[in-house]
Amino acid sequence: MNKENIAKAVKEAREKTKERKFKQTFDLAVAFKDMDMKNPASKFKEDVVLPHGRGKDARVGAIAEGQLAETAKKAGIKTILGKDDLGNLAKNRRKAKTLVKEIDVFISQPDLMAEVGKTLGPILGPRNKMPKPIPPNVPDLKPVLDRFSKVITIRVKNDPIIHCMVGTENLDDSQITDNAEAALKAIENKLPKGASQIRSIHIKTTMGPSARVEP
């Protein structure tokens, strides 16, 4: 993928967007061709470390009790759910959806993962937000939280397309370009036939029009 073409699209996307009262994200959209979505080999999921980070801290929620709950609290995590909380959310789907929407990443102690699957799984799964298991005796969650602020997840599930963020508008164009390039390289590496399976690439801000990355 030509980096200059990525940079041109980033610049165009920024120039076309209007100023908003919130910090917009830069989003990458990649459409594929020659992919049989009935074939499991066409589906993939991969975490990608962005060289300049996401541009904002990830909103993290913890599903934990006891020691891990205390560690999460000390790390500044505000949303901490125990087993009873999961049961209550399972009875109130609207409240559960609202909560899940407000959180970017969930962590959970391993022995609660089965309970998460039974209660919030139908909501978390389709949104690619199933919790990442964390040992209950981890002494410090700061390294985990720092990594979340740099990582995005690329995923092909039912449709031959990927949407993912590659930063926020407080990052400069070169940083957004580097992040988008990292995501595209990871996508190419997951495709059986590499870049030849990419139909189109676009970059846009949250509320702005898209700019095409020329091949």
1 pLDDT higher than 80: no
Whether the Cβ atoms of residue 69 and residue 62 lie closer than 8 Å to each other:
yes
Confidence class for position 113, pLDDT limits 50, 70, 90: very high
Q: For helices 3-16 and 173-190, what crossing angle results, to 10°?
A: 130
Instruction: Average the pLDDT over 31-35 and give the result.
Output: 93
pLDDT range class, residue 207, cuts 50, 70, 90: very high
What domains, with CATH codes, occur in the chain? 3-55+150-212 (3.30.190.20), 60-147 (3.40.50.790)
Q: Give the integer Cα–Cα distance in Å for 179 and 172.
A: 11
Alpha carbon 75 to its chain centroid, in Å, reads 21
* Polymer length of the chain: 215
pTM (2 decimals)? Answer: 0.84
